[in-house]
Amino acid sequence: MLTLDLSKLNGFLPQDYLSSREEALREAARMLAEHNGPGGDFTGWVTLPRDYDKEEFARIQAAAKRIQQQSQVLVVIGIGGSYLGARAVIELLGSPNYNLKQKNTPDILFAGNGLSTDALLETISLIGDRDFSVNVISKSGTTTEPAVAFRIFKQMLEEKYGKEGARERIYATTDKARGALKGLADQEGYEEFVVPDEVGGRYSVLTAVGLLPIAVAGIDIEALMDGAAQAMEALSAPGADNPAWQYAAARHALYEGGKKVELLACYEPCFRFFAEWWKQLYGESEGKEGKGLFPASVEYTADLHSMGQYIQEGERLMLETVVQFAPKGEFLIPNDPENVDGLNFLSGKPLSFVAEQAMRAVILAHVDGGVPNVRIQMPALSETVTGYLIYFFEYVCGLSGYLLKVNPFNQPGVEAYKNNMYALLGKPGYEARKAELEKRL
């Protein structure tokens, strides 16, 4: 299903870039399979497409149908891995304009992923007087941004529907045994779904964390899981023919050769939030101990008219990974009798032909400019294709982290800003830190 084109890395990599890393890749793959490498307790995603909880999966599908029947809007409250995966898949398969489309499924609004007052007020105004439900996603229930948002939307639901009515419209995706949200959900009787202990947030899109909002949007989550299962089977075979091994080895070799930034590019606007999900996946997994490629993204051809100059002639610190999907439909370019724009040489040609040649031209220009290029070719967008691509990037990320000799499944640096924020907000127990920080400010 996935074709990896590394032909435009010639001249950027030593010939033995893969063979010299084969032993390390074999060990990385073994640690992922046996769950015993650094962070191994959080590698449940490796076999998730096969071993997921089928009973909970059926409850997710039932809850999605219930939300579709009783609500015109679903508010999804979460941040980071509790937010990006669902939005990535909904926009990729349902359109960046999903909420504007005529459809028989609810609008999906996202909250709790920031602290903007204006954004929150806008979300409330977009709900208006329509019927709505809430899916709050948090393992602990105490992360500031989603916890504050949930307070607000819970109060709105209770004021609109009463406590009993609100109970039927709140769905909590949280820890299976502990935490503030788990305790509240038990006490109030909300329907609960599990954030698995063995799957970290940025790898959780194929758990209830992502699947409930995705299913509410009318996306076939069985096909999504089937695509991931196909990838799991295909990528589990060790050896130099494995595209995950090839990509992980190429990234690592380019990094060791001085590249510091990986640009993820696509020619489909619906890919924008998938790239945001990818950036968290790789940024949190690799960016530690002073190591790791900086993950960035561009949307072509639009960004060729903004970032193109830097990519072509700026500092030679980047590599580029292009994801290409086959088109689902076709559109022929019309003829203009006046030929005002001088483009009649394109009359009658498919728009996809123009896009293909533009992509080929960009790849050649960037390679000539010193930017190594990887191309990932996929069939036309579908649930199966998307599930496959999600798993491919997750698996490569696990391999890449182990090649870097870091723990790809923790994120210790994330706590730095949180501790400062708690102190400045006056959270009990942070008094000494508050005094110290206020002196510095």
Would you please indicate which residues are annotated as catalytic (active-site) residues? 284, 305, 418
* 105: preceding bond cis by omega (within 30 degrees): no
| Contacts of range 188-193, beta carbons closer than 8 Å, 24 or more positions apart | 191/59, 191/63, 193/56, 193/59, 193/60, 193/63
Q: How far apart are CA 260 and CA 320, in angstroms?
A: 11
User: Which residues, 6+ apart, have CB-to-CB distance to 364 below 8 Å?
Assistant: none
Helix (H) or strand (E) run with residue 74 in it: strand 73-77
Beta bridge partners of 325: 378
User: Which residues, 6+ apart, have CB-to-CB distance to 146 below 8 Å?
Assistant: 77, 78, 79, 82, 111, 112, 113, 136, 137, 138
User: Contact, 26 vs 238, CB < 8 A?
Assistant: yes
Residues 289, 290, 291, 296, CA torsion sign: positive
Location of structure tokens 């980071």: 80
